[in-house]
Structure 1
């Protein structure tokens, strides 16, 4: 069991990067509002301590350092109403794809859109509950699955539908794996705080307009079922991320379609965790992040 309850990774005002246990005002649960945190020393997945040292937050970063992330597994079509809007039958098994670690970014980073993804309309948003694995897991029974979870974050599985569907050869990763297309955070709330991940409100706002509003209760495969299934013959490691699919309301499922464009601001929110806010930024040819 971790010593912290709300993990953030942040750039402090002294210029150093820390893991910390967020200090929030009474009654506030949005980790995006973290202004200070108690510094954590040690291995967040192993032996560590929350110290008495408090540092002011200059900028919240992606909740896990790049070296602490193992794999990024993602589920597709995992909300009943989303499968319905896509005109597809409910999957018999979880629909799995992977994102590269280079797609991960922080809770306020811009979403960079390479010129190759600017050619056609199709840039879409997807709010998702992100599960962070905290302990090595293999062949885990559903009844014990949550014991292997460190905590939860909110993420945006940014997708380009043309590259995902028409040009992907049946594989989704090409249209979902561009650099910076998986912003998540604003931190990680542990299972001691969020005891039931199937009761959480989840939503997306595009330029201030609510475009997705649902509850994780609509998931076809719950967090417990997902971990039990994915660990069958496959070892899940501390630092593995599982993105658990998006609810209905995506731009692809609307009539007319609603695609993100240069300069748009997209917010994804999860009850008990907070808000991730990112601005879409079309890059020029040859630009580097």
Structure 2
């Protein structure tokens, strides 16, 4: 099943075309793309009664697509979670997940322009997990049952702000307006051939700069959910940015960062692609 935010309205994608959820459900579900996660199990059951929703290509004008999860209560992000990215960062493999948070106002949709906050802004492709069933103390063996779906994300990072002394400021350095693009759609785990082995990557001005698979995660999606839920309560509609592979600008010699006019294309296999152009401050 694939759902989208089309012109600000919750939309189910079927082989018969896009379905406006509020209209077709007779008001049983609202048009708010965020609200659906609070009733995820009920919605998923209804959605599968609306025709063939498996493996659907949307065919939608991407300019009409907004962030499929526009107002999550919580946004978690995992650092140093690909072996090759740990190596390019010059760090040792972590013994437990490195966690920070982004702020909700950084969320934006899968296309458009993003204003650079300075001259040290980096790209980071990520698989983003959307929580469907919340809870605490979720065991890894049951974690995928708590996932509504996955989407593509960019964890854009102002490295100067993130790393300036006296102490790193990861959350602030990654939370400027538009610095957490997600989309183009949310795809349920049953659509994925192997939810623990999902290809992802991104290109800068047509040059591929990152390419990997979530099989290379240091901590898998289930392990991350188990770890987080042992500390905090996860809520329906929360987002988890699961980490970025090698190929970020900071890892280049010399480091390379985004400039006005640059275009970043981000993709996750089975989900789709995003495209963003960057403009000056």
Question: TM-score scaled to structure 2, two decimals?
Answer: 0.86
In structure 2, the residue matched to 1:39 is 20
Report the structure, 1 or 2, having the larger helix content.
Answer: 2
Secondary structure of 1:130's counterpart equals: strand
Q: 1:73 aligns with which of 76, 96, 107?
A: 76
**Residues 191-202 of structure 1 aligned to structure 2 (within 5 Å):** 191-194=189-192, 196-202=194-200
| Residue of structure 2 equivalent to 1:211 | 209
Aligned length: 256
Which whole-Å CA distance do the structure 1 matches of 2:182 and 2:107 have between them? Answer: 7
Contact map agreement 1:168 1:174 (CA 8 A) in 2: no
Q: Do 1:130 and 1:152's aligned partners in 2 also have CA atoms closer than 8 Å?
A: yes
Judging by fraction of residues, say which structure has more strand.
1
The verdict on how the C-alpha distance between 1:262 and 1:56 changes in structure 2, with shifts beyond 3 A counting, is closer
Which residue number in structure 1 is paired with residue 101 of structure 2?
A: 98
- Aligned partner of residue 21 in structure 2, secondary structure: strand
- Residue 8 of structure 1 corresponds to 4
* Structural mapping, 1:110-125, within 5 Å: 110-113=113-116, 117-118=117-118, 121-125=119-123
Select between 232-241 and 170-179 the one with higher mean Cα deviation: 170-179
In 2 relative to 1, CA 276–242 (structure 1 residues): closer, same or farther, beyond 3 Å? same
What is the alpha-carbon distance in structure 2 between the residues aligned to residue 123 and residue 171 of structure 1? 14
Shift of 1:188: 0.3
- Asked if the contact 1:204–1:212 (Cα under 8 Å) also holds between the matched residues in 2, the reply is yes
CA drift of 1:168 comes to 6.8
Instruction: Give deviations 1:93-129, integer Å, cap 9, x for gaps.
Output: 110001000000000021122xxx32xx321000000
> Paired residue for 1:29?
none
User: 1:200-229 deviations in whole A, cap 9, x for unaligned?
Assistant: 111110001000011111100000000001
What does 1:165-184 align with in structure 2 at a 5 Å threshold? 165-167=163-165, 169-184=167-182
3-state secondary structure, aligned to 1:259 = coil
Give SS of 1:226's match.
helix
Tell me the CA shift for residue 55 of structure 1.
12
Alignment RMSD: 2.1
Alpha-carbon shift at residue 197 of structure 1 (Å): 2.4
Q: What TM-score do the two structures reach when normalised by structure 1? A: 0.83
C-alpha distance in 1, partners of 2:186/2:236? 14
- Distance in 2 (CA, whole Å) between partners of 1:145 and 1:102 is 27
1:61 corresponds in structure 2 to 66
State the match for 2:188 in structure 1: 190
How far 1:24 moved relative to its partner?
A: 6.3
